[in-house]
Amino acid sequence: MDYSPEAGMRPILVTGAAGSVGAVGRTVVQGLRRRGLQVRALVRRDDGRAQALRATGAEVVVGDLTCARDVADALDGCGRMYFGMAVSDQYLLAAVTTAAVARAYGRLEAFVNMSQLTVSEMDATSGSESHQHRQQWLVEQVLDWSGLPVVQVRPTVFMENPLFQTLFSSIATDGVIRWPFGEARTSPIAADDVAAVVEEILADPAGHIGRSYELTGPRSQDVAGLAAEISDALHHTVDYTAVPLQEWLDNDLAALELPAHVRQHISTMARLHLDGRYDRQAEGMAEVTGRSAGGVADFVRKNPELFTR
């Protein structure tokens, strides 16, 4: 690719571009390429997902976000960047390494950081959140101190999250929702909608620098409300069976065989749901894109294969 001034705007660096859960990075790359913007996609390994990114016209580089040299090489020549990374016990090291390199680089117009909505309820001594939440809170503090042109994106729970995987799989196998949430309320959002926000900010960051955008679905509702939406989308009744939290952790969540750090994060999210921490309604989606996020029924209609066996 030609990165000379005559070629126009400098490339946009997208990290986590080959991620799996929700694939926000990959969707951002695709959206930016459709706009005709130059994109450099940073991936952990060169595999089929990297090849799919190349097929969009993006430049693909392989690197490790915890390695400063790799980050510096990926960032060289770029004007804007998105930092996103899967839930990992290496998240804090990777994010701080990236921020330090970006600060030393000193040429960014925008640094869009994927955070999490729970972070907005935390402070220096909060202790009820997961290890991942604590790392994300710390990263936001570092970015605040860095002097970088930061935009924080704080989505609530993703519909692609393992928490919702257990819900969808119980519908597919038994025709019911098996969840431990009683009357707790939640407002999940689809990864495509989160990616649309990131894409819009990266395409035109003017007016967004220094801001935080909280993203939720169109409504906060209890599991009975979710069941009604899903029933409407599937054209058959889906009932809700409440199960004790520990039973759900030992059976439904354990069946996913998640790494320990991820399992601790998801189990904490389940507990925070019971504590009412995900009963949130925010308008960040509409602020950035001019439209509301899709609801659970929309997600079901787009992904019918998740609800059948």
> Distance between CA atoms of 40 and 56, rounded to whole angstroms?
11
185-186 and 221-222: which strand pairing? antiparallel
> Distance between CA atoms of 166 and 258, rounded to whole angstroms?
12
Mind giving me the DSSP string for 105-147?
H---SEEEEE--GGGGG--TT--SS-HHHHHHHHHHHHHHHH-
What residues have CB less than 8 Å from 104, skipping those under 6 apart? Answer: 72
- pLDDT for the residue 8: 60
Q: Which residue has the tokens 């058959």?
A: 236
> Distance between CA atoms of 127 and 203, rounded to whole angstroms?
37
**Contact indicator for 273, 186 with CB cutoff of 8 Å:** yes
Q: What is the pLDDT along the chain (309 residues), one digit of tens a residue?
A: 333 333 468 999 999 887 665 689 999 999 999 999 999 999 998 988 899 999 999 999 999 999 999 999 999 999 999 999 999 999 999 999 999 999 999 999 999 999 999 999 999 999 999 999 999 999 999 999 999 999 999 999 999 999 999 999 999 999 999 999 989 999 999 999 999 999 999 999 999 999 999 999 999 999 999 999 999 999 999 999 999 999 999 999 999 999 999 999 999 999 999 999 999 999 999 999 999 999 999 999 999 999 887
Read off the pTM.
0.94
Q: How many CB atoms lie within 10 A of CB 183?
A: 10
- pLDDT for the residue 7: 46
3-class state of residue 210 by DSSP: coil
- pLDDT for the residue 309: 74
- pLDDT for the residue 29: 96
Half-sphere exposure of 29 (CA within 13 A, CB side): 30
What ranges make up the beta strands (E) of the chain?
12-14, 39-43, 59-62, 80-83, 110-114, 150-155, 176-179, 185-186, 212-215, 221-222, 239-242
